[in-house]
C-alpha cells in the first residue's frame, strides 16, 4: 500500500510498497483511511526532536476511515462503519481509562509510566504505525473510535481526532471564569481553536500571540480575538501586564510547545543543542504574564528530559499549572454536538488538501509555514 515513511530528520517520503497492516489481536480492526492530517506534533518528529523515532515509522495520529476488517472480539464496530479515531490509543479498562484519562492509558505502551500510546508517534509513545497511509491497524477498536454520524462532513470529523478536543481541553484546563482575560500563545491550528473554545467557557477577552501575521489575521477572524505579533512587542510579558492593569492575565495557555521561537538562549539549548526537552519560551511567557493565583494550561508538547522553567515564579505567584495530552474520547460527544449546532466549524482551519503521494511536500510546506498554511490534510488514493 501507499504510506508516508520516515527516513530521518527532515526526510519523509511516500512509500508505494508499505506492508498492509494485519489484525494482530482479536480487539483490533483495520481501517481504510479517508483523510489524515499533518499536525504540529508531527513536526517535532519530522525535526528529529522526539526520542526513539525509528526510520521506517508511518506517522499520522489524526485520521478517519472506513472499517474493512474486524478482529474476532470486536463487538461494536462492523465492516463499513466510518469512524473517527482519537489520536491516543486506550484500553478502556485500566485505572486511568476508568477515570476518562484516555491519554494516559497504562496498557498500550511499554513506556507506560512516562506516557500513553499514540498512533504514529515514535516508540516512546508505543511504536504504533499511524494513519498517513491507505490502511492502518486500530487496536482496542471498540474503545476509542466513534462512528461518524451521517450529517457530519468528513473534514470536520478528522478535526475531531485531535485539534478540536486538544483545544477544548486546553481551554477547559484553564479553569476559565466568566469575564476572564485569556492569553493563548501560538496561533497554529491548536492555538486558534483554543481561542475559539475559550469563549465557550465564558472568557471576557481572548488574546492570541504568535509571530506569523497570516495566522494572527486568520485567528482574529475565526476566533474573534485580539491578535499580536510578539516580534513587534518589546516584551510580551510587559505588554500583557499593561493590558491587564498590571495584574496579568487570568489564564495563559501554551499552545506552542518545544519548538518555541522568541528567545535565543532557549532556542539554542532546546532546539539546537538538545540540552533540554525543548525551547520553553512560550511557557516562560505564560508563567510570567499570568496573574498571581492564575492558571497556566499547557498543551504544547515537550520532550521527556529536563527543561528550564521559572519554577520560583510559579511558587511565589501561587500559579496552578495544568497540562495533558488531550483525552479525546471523553470530549468527542460534546464536540460533535457543537459542530452540529454550528458553534464550532473545524473544517474552516483546513487550508491545504494534498494527495498522500505528496506527503513530503505537505511536511515541507507545514514545517516552513509557506503558502499561508494553517492545516494540511492528506487524501489517500483509495479514499
Ligand atoms: N497535548 C495534546 O494533546 C496536543 C495535541 C496536538 C498538538 N499538541 C501540540 O500543540 C502545539 C501546537 O500544535 P499546532 O498543530 O498548532 O502547531 P504549529 O506548529 O502549526 O503552531 C505552533 C505556532 O506557535 C508559534 N510560535 C512559535 N514560538 C512562539 C512563541 N514563543 N509564542 C507564541 N507563538 C509561538 C508558531 O509560529 C506557530 O504558528 C505543538 O507543540 C503540538 O505538538 C498537543
Ligand atoms: Zn495532532
Ligand atoms: Zn487504559
Ligand 1 binding pocket includes 170 (Cβ within 6 Å): no
Query: How high is the pLDDT of residue 114?
Result: 86
C-alpha cell read off for 110: 511499554
Query: What residue ranges define each of the domains in the chain, with the CATH number in brackets?
Result: 3-162+327-379 (3.90.180.10), 163-323 (3.40.50.720)
Using pLDDT thresholds of 50, 70 and 90, give the confidence band for residue 4: very high
What is the reported pLDDT for 378? 98
Q: What is the pLDDT of residues 287-332, one digit of tens each?
A: 999 999 999 999 999 988 899 999 999 999 999 999 999 999 999 9
- Distance from residue 122's CA to the centre of ligand 3 (Å): 19
Q: Going by CA atoms, what residue is nearest to atom 25 of ligand 1?
A: 186
pLDDT tens by residue, 159-208? 999 999 999 999 999 999 999 999 999 999 999 999 999 999 999 999 99
Please name the residue that has the C-alpha cell 538538545.
Answer: 274
Atom from ligand 1 closest to the CA of residue 298: 1
The C-alpha R_g of the chain, in whole angstroms, comes to 20
b/e for 114-148, b at 16 or more Cβ within 10 A?
ebbbbbbbbbbbbbbbbbbbbbbbbbbbbbbbbeb
Q: How far is the CA of 160 from the centre of ligand 2 (A)?
A: 10
pLDDT value for 155? 98
Cell numbers given for 51: 526520542
Q: Rounded distance, CA 190 to CA 257, Å? A: 11
What DSSP state is assigned to residue 115? -
- C-alpha 61 to ligand 2 mean position (Å): 6
Is residue 241 within 8 Å of residue 233, measured between CB atoms?
no
Total-model pTM? 0.97
* CA 118 to ligand 3 center in whole angstroms: 12
Q: Would you state the cell numbers that stand for residue 154, as one nine-digit string?
A: 468528513
* DSSP alpha helix (H) spans, the chain: 40-46, 154-159, 163-173, 189-200, 213-223, 236-243, 264-267, 281-289, 311-316, 328-340, 359-368
Residue from 363, 255, 251 nearest 301 by CA: 255
Cβ atoms of 76 and 57 within 8 Å: the answer is no
Grid coordinates in use for 158?
478528522
Ligand 1 neighbourhood includes 61 CB (under 6 angstroms) = no
H or E stretch covering 244: none
Amino acid at each position: 500500500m501507499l504510506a508516508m515513511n520516515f527516513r530521518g530528520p527532515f526526510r519523509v517520503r511516500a512509500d508505494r510498497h508499505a506492508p498492509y497492516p494485519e489484525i494482530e489481536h482479536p480487539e483490533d480492526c483495520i481501517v481504510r483511511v479517508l483523510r489524515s492530517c499533518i499536525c504540529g506534533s508531527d513536526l517535532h518528529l519530522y525535526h528529529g526532536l522526539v526520542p526513539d523515532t525509528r526510520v521506517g515509522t508511518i506517522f499520522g495520529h489524526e485520521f478517519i476511515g472506513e472499517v474493512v476488517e474486524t478482529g474476532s472480539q470486536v463487538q461494536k464496530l462492523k465492516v463499513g462503519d466510518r469512524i473517527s479515531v482519537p489520536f491516543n490509543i486506550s484500553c478502556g479498562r485500566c485505572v486511568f481509562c476508568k477515570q476518562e484519562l484516555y491519554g494516559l492509558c497504562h496498557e498500550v505502551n511499554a513506556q507506560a509510566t512516562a506516557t500513553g500510546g499514540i498512533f504514529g508517534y515514535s516508540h516512546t509513545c508505543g511504536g504504533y504505525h499511524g494513519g498517513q497511509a491507505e490502511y492502518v491497524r486500530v487496536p482496542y477498536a471498540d474503545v476509542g473510535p466513534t462512528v461518524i454520524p451521517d450529517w457530519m462532513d468528513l473534514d470536520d470529523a478528522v478535526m475531531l481526532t485531535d485539534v478540536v478536543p486538544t483545544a477544548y481541553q486546553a481551554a477547559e484546563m484553564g479553569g476559565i471564569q466568566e469575564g476572564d482575560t485569556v492569553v493563548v500563545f501560538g496561533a497554529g491550528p491548536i492555538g486558534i481553536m483554543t481561542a475559539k473554545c475559550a469563549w465557550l467557557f465564558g472568557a471576557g477577552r481572548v488574546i492570541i500571540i504568535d509571530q506569523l501575521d497570516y495566522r494572527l489575521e486568520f485567528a482574529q477572524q475565526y476566533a474573534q480575538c485580539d491578535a499580536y505579533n510578539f516580534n513587534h512587542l518589546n516584551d510580551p510579558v510587559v505588554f500583557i501586564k499593561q493590558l491587564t492593569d498590571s495584574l496579568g492575565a487570568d489564564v495563559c495557555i501554551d499552545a506552542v510547545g518545544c519548538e518555541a521561537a522568541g528567545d535565543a538562549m532557549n532556542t539554542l539549548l532546546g532546539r539546537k543543542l538538545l540540552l533540554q526537552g525543548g525551547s520553553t519560551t512560550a511557557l516562560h511567557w505564560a508563567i510570567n504574564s499570568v496573574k498571581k493565583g492564575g492558571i497556566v494550561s499547557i498543551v504544547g508538547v515537550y520532550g521527556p528530559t529536563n527543561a528550564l522553567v521559572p519554577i520560583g515564579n510559579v511558587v511565589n505567584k501561587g500559579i496552578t499549572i495544568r497540562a495533558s495530552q488531550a483525552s479525546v474520547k471523553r470530549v468527542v460527544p460534546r464536540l460533535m454536538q457543537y459542530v452540529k449546532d454550528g458553534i464550532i466549524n473545524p473544517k474552516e482551519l483546513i487550508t491545504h488538501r494534498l494527495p498522500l503521494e505528496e506527503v513530503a511536500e505537505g511536511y515541507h510546506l507545514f514545517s516552513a509555514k509557506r503558502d499561508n498554511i494553517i492545516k494540511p490534510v492528506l487524501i489517500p488514493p483509495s479514499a
